[in-house]
Amino acid sequence: MRKILIVGNWKMHLNASQASLLLHRLHERIKIHRDVEVVLAPSMLVLQPLSVQIDRRKFRLATQNAFHIDEGAYTGEVSFTMLRDLVHYAIIGHSERRHVFGEPLDLIRDKVAAAVRNEITPILCVGETKTEKVAGETEKVLHDQVVSGLSNMTAREVAKMVIAYEPVWAISSGSNYAHHEIATPEQVERVAKFIRHNIEELYGPKAAKMVRILYGGSSNAENAKAYLSTPGIDGLLPGGASLNYHEFSGMVRTAYRLQRERIEA
């Protein structure tokens, strides 16, 4: 059974003291569970102080971004090599990196390779925009993003990776979930099946079975059970909801309950 993975993407929020306080609130509410991994992705600025404060039996850290070259004259950049002792995971190819910062497929491919090279597990984000969805291009977009993102990987490396499906049309910009479209569990299930099919064709059935697929489009405590119960989905990548300790700890509790039910069954 694949471990459920709940990854909180704090995006560009919280200074060092605010992040420390949020971590403290989460520590009070979240229990250790060997079949659920809880990952926090704060800003680059607070990764180091949180790494000292964090209870590693409960939480792991992820970076939201890093530079794909290990070292050199790149003023202002932070490489995966610099982060390898701080983080277990790296979010790569998030829709905001693709669409706000214009990161192309080949750069995302190189970042995936750099993460693996530095023993950091990539969380490769894939997803289509509203325009691409309406044009019926969802599968083409996902195929291109998955195939290019994994193109330097071996089957064994792919099996250990995480892929997050985050349809751009379903991502909210904050805690207000009422005024934008939500992906249904049925839509998410179809996409997870499609992603695994792509991986199986390229890397074989074992890699396709072992890779973990998350859903990341405005997930919250209210809809967590529906998405976590979706066949082929192994966890969630919330954004705005991860800044609210009630919401985020509620999502983790839902994951605990579902894993317990599966084990007992």
Confirm if 20 and 45 have CB atoms less than 8 A apart. Answer: no
Catalytic option among 37, 96, 128, 166:
166
Angle, nearest 10°, between helix axes 16-29 and 245-264? 40
Catalytic option among 37, 94, 157, 247:
94
Q: What are the two backbone dihedrals, phi and then psi, of residue 80, each rounded to the nearest 5 degrees?
A: -60, -35
Task: Kindly compute the dihedral angle of the four CA atoms of residues 41, 183, 130, 8, in this order, to the nearest 10 degrees.
Answer: 0
State how far the Cα of 109 lies from the Cα of 132, in Å rounded to an integer. 21
Q: Buried (b) or exposed (e) across 33-70, using 16+ Cβ within 10 A?
A: beebbbbbbbbeebbeebeeebeeebbbbbbbbbbbee
Q: What are the two backbone dihedrals, phi and then psi, of residue 149, each rounded to the nearest 5 degrees?
A: -65, -30
Classified as helix, coil or strand, 120 is coil
Asked if 166 is an active-site residue, the reply is: yes
As annotated, the active-site residues are 94, 166
